[in-house]
Amino acid sequence: MTAARVWSVTSTTPTQADALTLARVAVDERLAAGAEITGPAISVFWHLGELGEGEEWRVTLRTSSSSRDALAARLADLHPWDSPEVSAAPVAWCAESYADWVERTTAQPEAAG
């Protein structure tokens, strides 16, 4: 089996503005090639010993295998919640040209030596 070249990384936020901030920073810093924001959605969850419900916005970002962990760490740093959902799944298949674009876009410049 070939390792995934493209990953889909997701998180949820309490507001559309928070989701947009995560998306803009991740793409601007080239940790993600692109992002989509969807919502609002109603979530039901267990938190601090209680059942809760709330409105959330989902941000889905596309990144390369080499940038996935850095993207996840950056999302956690920027997130307004203390324990945000940041999860990732490999993209099982995509066009080679798309995978090439994601990898090119998220390639981090070599450190000056």
The pLDDT, as a whole number, for residue 112 is 40
**Distance, CA of 57 to CA of 102 (rounded, Å):** 24
Tell me: pLDDT of 37 over 90. Answer: yes
Asked if residue 57 belongs to a domain, the reply is: yes
The identity of residue 18, as a single letter, is D
- Counting the structural domains of the chain, the total is 1
DSSP letter string, 39-98: EEEEEEEEETTEEEEEEEEEEEEEEETTTHHHHHHHHHHH-SSSS--EEEEE-S---HHH
Asked if residue 62 belongs to a domain, the reply is: yes
Mean local confidence (pLDDT), 54-81: 98
CATH of the domain at 72: 3.30.70.120
Tell me: pLDDT of 111 over 50. Answer: no
The pLDDT, as a whole number, for residue 2 is 72
pLDDT single digits (tens) 55-65 = 999 999 999 99
Task: Read off the tokens for 92.
Answer: 């099982």
Query: Of 1, 9, 4, whose CA–CA distance to 93 is shortest?
Result: 4
Query: What is the domain range of residue 68?
Result: 10-106
